[in-house]
């Protein structure tokens, strides 16, 4: 696999990932919805890929909810989610939206659908626009 690249919204953080991403999950748990402000988090996972910070590593903040494994790394300037290590560095978690490269795999599953937002159903049938509606 080629190297994947990614960045934060302000461009102050840029990174490369070398290696395979093994899984891709869309998590609807209440914590992931709070993290993203959206219907779900979209994260890629790897136990073998290497993360290399190109610029801005010092601009990263990581927040872990006390007494849990729930962790989020983000740019302290713009708030964008960025990759982080979990499980004592054994698991790389990459927010799919932070990639500048095409995401090389499709989602494997939706997780915690029992906690999904009440408005997150049958959305594919609604109006769709290429840009902001006029």
pLDDT at position 37: 92
Q: Would the pLDDT of 107 be above 90? A: yes
Q: How many other β-carbons are positioned within 10 Å of the β-carbon of residue 83? A: 22
When pLDDT is averaged across residues 111-117 and rounded to a whole number, the result is: 95
| pLDDT given at position 68 | 85
The domain ranges of the chain are: 4-117
Q: What CATH topology corresponds to 4-117?
A: 2.170.150
Q: Say whether pLDDT at 102 is over 90.
A: yes
Report the mean per-residue pLDDT for the chain. Answer: 93
Distance CA 29, CA 34 (A): 9
**pLDDT tens-digit map of 54-85:** 999 999 999 989 998 889 999 999 999 999 98
CA angle 83, 56, 26 (to 5 degrees): 20
Q: Cα angle vertex 51, ends 20, 78, to 5°?
A: 120
Give the model's confidence band at 88: pLDDT under 50 very low, under 70 low, under 90 confident, else very high.
confident
pTM higher than the cut 0.95: no
| 1 has a pLDDT exceeding 70 | no
C-alpha separations of 60 from 22, 27, 28, 101, 132 in Å: 24, 23, 24, 20, 31
Distance CA 18, CA 23 (A): 15
Q: What is the pLDDT of residue 121?
A: 84
What confidence tens digit (pLDDT) does each residue in 13-27 have? 999 999 999 999 999
């Amino acid at each position: 696999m080629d190297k994947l690249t990614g960045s934060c919204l302000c461009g102050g953080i840029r990174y490369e990932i070398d290696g395979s991403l093994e899984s891709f999950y869309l998590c609807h748990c209440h914590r992931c919805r709070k993290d993203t402000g959206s219907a779900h988090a979209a994260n890629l996972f790897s136990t073998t890929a290497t993360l290399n910070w190109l610029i801005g590593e010092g601009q990263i903040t990581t927040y872990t909810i006390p007494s849990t494994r729930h962790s989020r790394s983000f740019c302290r300037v713009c708030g964008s989610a960025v990759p982080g290590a979990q499980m004592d560095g054994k698991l790389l978690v990459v927010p799919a939206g932070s990639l500048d490269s095409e995401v090389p795999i499709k989602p494997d599953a939706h997780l915690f659908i029992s906690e999904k937002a009440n408005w997150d159903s049958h959305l594919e049938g609604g109006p769709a626009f290429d840009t902001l509606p006029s």
